[in-house]
Amino acid sequence: MANEAYLILPALTCEAEGTVACREENLTLVMELTRFAVTQYTNYNFNSFCKIGDTYVGATDKGIHELTGDTYNNIHIDSLITFLTSDFGSINQKRIRELYVGHEVPGSLEITLKADDGEEKTYILTPEFESQKQHGDRLKISRKKKGRYWTMSIANVDGCDFSIDQIDAIVIIEEKKP
């Protein structure tokens, strides 16, 4: 489906044009305007959203619904963040040895790393402490994988809510250039 979008606000003009290949019935795109960060929601059957005080609501043809809870129709809500591909500022091959993740999560997270050969490796980050408060954990990464470009994704496990404060990667830069 090809789409065009024009968003015009005072002192801000944003134009977008693109094609979205999607098997899901509904695709919702949300843009955070201070950083132009785009979030994609699939199979979220609302035609509009708003925040009233501390409460989020969504509208459908059948009415207005308060958005609460950890499930949608008793199904876990899956969340996935995919970061931009990076060469960490070096054209050399590199290995990621460890990740230090500052987070708040009551469950586990799946962290997937993909080097430029396209092969993915998924790691499970389970908080060291049972506290649901913001803290950090270290995730050891296999030494076998190397590449110039790396892409990282983070997904929740069993629909758990989470927030990420920071991610630090320990990167070993090889002498060999690609």
For CATH 2.60.120.1190, the residue range(s) in the chain are 80-173
Which fold, 80-173? Jelly Rolls (2.60.120)
pLDDT score for 1: 46
What is the spatial distance between Cα 41 and Cα 25, in angstroms, rounded to a whole number? 11
Mean pLDDT by 10 residues, the chain (178 residues): 52 52 65 79 77 88 85 80 92 95 91 93 87 83 93 92 90 83
Residue 121 pLDDT: 96
Q: In what order do the strands lie in the sheet with 109-115?
A: 80-82, 150-156, 109-115, 120-125
pLDDT at 175: 87
DSSP-derived letter for residue 167 is: E
Instruction: Check if the beta carbon of residue 153 is closer than 8 Å to that of residue 80.
Output: yes
User: Rounded to two decimals, what is the model's pTM?
Assistant: 0.71
